[in-house]
Amino acid sequence: MSLKTFFGGIHPKYAKELTAESPVEILSAPETVVVPMLQHIGAPAVPTVKKGDEVLAGQVIGEATQPVSAPVHSPVSGKVVAVTDRPHVNGRSVLSVVIENDGENKWVELEPHPDPVQLDRSVILDKIRAAGIVGMGGAGFPTAVKLRPPKDAAIDVLLINGSECEPYLTSDHRLMLESAADVILGAKLLAKACGAKKIVIGVEDNKRDAVAELKKHAGAIEIVLLDTKYPQGGEKQLIKAVTGREVPSNGLPFQAGVVVQNVATAAAVAQAVRDGKPLVERIVTVTGSVINEPRNFLVPIGTPLHNLIEAAGGFTEEPGKVLVGGPMMGMAQHSLDAPVVKTVNGILALSKGEAVVPEPLPCIKCARCVDVCPVYLLPLRLEAFGMHEMWDEAKEYGAMDCIECGCCTYICPSKRPLLHYIRVAKNQIVAMSRKQGN
C-alpha cells in the first residue's frame, strides 16, 4: 500500500517511543482547578458563576455570547473560590473560574442518547455546541462553527486527522488504540453534522496498530495510511495528501469541499452526543528527556501543569524549557501553574542542553528552507523582509500563506530564526490592513 503525502516537510527525531506504549491513566482532579474562559479561538466565554457559588461537574460556568466562541463547563463539583485573571498556557493572564474541588464528583444530569446517529443534523450540532467542543488538535477552533460553513459551500469529504505528526506526542495515538469506537462514532456524527458523504481517516504509518484498531469499527469509513513526515497533520497538507485538493490561498478548507477534525475532537463529539457529556477532560502526553516517567494521562480540564508533571514522577533534573504541545509548534511556558485547557495535547520538558537557543550564522542560501516549506514559500526571503521591515515585500512573497509549521527554522544549518521573523512580518501585515480598514 503506497503512502499518501505532501511535498516538502521534515523528518525530525520523533521520540514517540517514550510514551507510545503507556496506556492512558486517569488522573483525578486536584484540590483546586483553574478553568480559563478562553480555551479556543474566538471570543472568551462569559462567566455564569461568581465567588461562593456551588457548582456541579458538567455545569456551565462560562457561556458563549459571540458567534465564534464556546461554552466552558466545570470539571469538578465544588465551590467557586475566585473569578479572576490567572496564568494561561498562551503566556498571558486570562479570566478564569477557580473551583475548590469537594471531591464528591457530583454531576449535573446528563442526557444520553442510545442511537445518536439517528439524530437530526441540527440536534447533533446543538449538542456539539452545548458541550463546548473545540478543535483538540491544538488550534481550538469551535467545532460547531467549523461544521457550519456558508450555505453555498458544498462539503463532500470529512477528514479525520489521526496523523499526530508532532514529535513526542502520543495522546492521539493512545486515544485511537483505546477508544477507536468513539473515534468512529464521532466521525459519523461529524459527517452528518456537516453534510459530508465521505469520511476519510488519515493516520501516519508509524501508528499501524491504531489503524488496525480503527479498522475493526470502521465499516464504510476509509482509513488512509500517510507517510510519517512533519507536518503531515497540518490541515492544508492533510487535505492535499488525501484528496489532492488545495485550500485556496487566504481561504478555508470548506472552499476545497473538506472539513478536517482531529481524532480527539471526534471522540469528544461521540461522548457529547451519545452520553450528553460536555468536554471537561482530555488526554495529555507528559514526556521529555527530563521527565522521570513519561506517560499519558486523562486529566480534568483546569488541572495545573505541575500536577501532571508530579504525577509523571517529576523532573529528573532541572528542566531548561517546558512546552505545551510538541517541539515544533508548542508554546514555551514561564509558569507551571497554568492549567490544562481543551487544546493541550502534551507537556514536553526539555533539558537545559536541549533548551539552548543556538547563535545564528549568516544565511548561505543553501535553500533547505525552500525545499522543506510545505506551502512552497521562500522562507529565506521572507526572513530577510521581516528583519528589514519590508512589509509590502513580505506580503507580496506570501507571508500570510505561512502556516507557521517551523520546518524552515528546524532545517536551517545556520540556525537562523526564520519563522520568528516571518511571524513578525505577518503581525505587521495584519496590523497594516487593520489600519487601512479603519
Among candidates 158, 169, 164, which has minimal Cα distance to 199? Answer: 158
- For residues 117 and 366, which CB has a smaller minimum distance to other proteins in the complex? 366
CB of 231 to other proteins, least distance (A): 11
Q: Examine residue 375 and tell whether it contacts other proteins (CB under 8 A).
A: yes
Cell of 341: 485547557
Interface with other proteins by CB under 8 A: which range of 50-58, 194-202, 221-229, 405-413? 405-413
Q: Cα torsion at 309, 312, 313, 319 (round to 10°)? A: -40
Q: Examine residue 306 and tell whether it contacts other proteins (CB under 8 A).
A: yes
Interface with other proteins by CB under 8 A: which range of 192-200, 208-216, 339-347, 415-423? 415-423
CB of 233 to other proteins, least distance (A): 15
- Pick the binder of other proteins from 58, 294, 374, 386 (CB under 8 A): 374
How far is residue 338's CA from residue 93's CA, in Å, rounded to a whole number?
A: 9
Cβ atoms 281, 299 nearer than 8 A: yes
What 3-state class would DSSP assign to 240?
helix
Q: Examine residue 355 and tell whether it contacts other proteins (CB under 8 A).
A: yes
Q: Examine residue 411 and tell whether it contacts other proteins (CB under 8 A).
A: yes
Q: Examine residue 370 and tell whether it contacts other proteins (CB under 8 A).
A: yes
- For residues 93 and 122, which CB has a smaller minimum distance to other proteins in the complex? 93
Q: Examine residue 425 and tell whether it contacts other proteins (CB under 8 A).
A: no
- For residues 130 and 329, which CB has a smaller minimum distance to other proteins in the complex? 329
Interface with other proteins by CB under 8 A: which range of 56-64, 68-76, 370-378, 387-395? 370-378
Q: Examine residue 371 and tell whether it contacts other proteins (CB under 8 A).
A: yes
Cell of 293: 516517567
- Pick the binder of other proteins from 1, 109, 115, 318 (CB under 8 A): 318
Chain mean position to CA 81 = 29
Site string for other proteins, 213-252 (x = CB under 8 A): -----------------------x---x-----xxxxxx-
CB of 52 to other proteins, least distance (A): 29
What 3-state class would DSSP assign to 317?
coil
- For residues 6 and 391, which CB has a smaller minimum distance to other proteins in the complex? 6
Could you list the beta-strand ranges (E) of 227-308.
258-262, 281-287, 295-300
Helix (H) or strand (E) holding 24: strand 24-26
Angle at 259 between CA 256 and CA 264, to 5 degrees: 150
What 3-state class would DSSP assign to 215?
helix
Cβ atoms 308, 281 nearer than 8 A: no
Please, which of residues 64-93 interact with other proteins by CB under 8 A? Answer: 91
Angle at 237 between CA 235 and CA 241, to 5 degrees: 120
